[in-house]
Amino acid sequence: MTDAEQPWLVVGLGNPGPEYAGNRHNVGFMVADLLAERMGGRFKAHKARAQVVEGRFGAPGPGGRRVVVAKPLSFMNLSGGPVTALRDFYKVPVSHVVAIHDELDIDYGALRLKVGGGDNGHNGLKSITKSLGAEYHRVRFGIGRPPGRMQVADFVLKDFSSAERRELDYFVDRAADAVETLVVDGLERAQSTYNT
């Protein structure tokens, strides 16, 4: 199978359940939802403890890239299990796995795309890296640092503020564009266009 025919696995990280839906920690789910909508697909339950949508990014027909967009249904800190099961099921090389996640050390709404690296204390990445190794792509969505003395755990599990929500749709849309560019045109093109 040539590289162009290899499927991609795009994983939005978050916590399942309506009580977490608007949390900063769930921005990966928000981007995954938008990607699924763009592909015209609906999430379906998968035996790997995840919801998946299968489709294509890019030009219709053979020029497009086969993509599985997934939302693990384990909690964030156990994401590695479902991601590994999906990778095995769809026979996706680690170099074609993309994790979309919230990032504390980047200003709100800014994006950074990269391959490999540490987990920076992010439990979802820690779990995936333990299962897959570190050489997968990351789309890091900036959420900024907690104000004052607020604990990180409290901050990431709070909903975006009303001021943040005014721009959230725009930033989620931009992150979805970045994911599509990464898959279709490669990391360098995506970084030069979207890294801020």
N- to C-terminal Cα separation, the chain: 35
Q: Which helix (H) or strand (E) holds 57?
A: strand 50-57
Amino acid residing at 85: A
The Cα–Cα gap between 181 and 137 comes to 13
Q: Which amino acid is at 88?
A: D
Which distant-in-sequence residues (6+ apart) come within 8 Å of 172 by Cβ? Answer: 27, 30, 31, 34
Residues 6+ apart with CB under 8 A from 166: none
Strand arrangement, sheet containing 97-103: 44-46, 50-57, 65-72, 8-12, 97-103, 137-142, 111-115
CA-nearest of 90, 106, 13 to 55 is 90
Could you say which of 25, 46, 101, 122 is catalytic? 25
Instruction: Please indicate whether residue 25 is annotated as part of the active site.
Output: yes
Residues 6+ apart with CB under 8 A from 63: none
Question: Catalytic positions, please?
Answer: 25
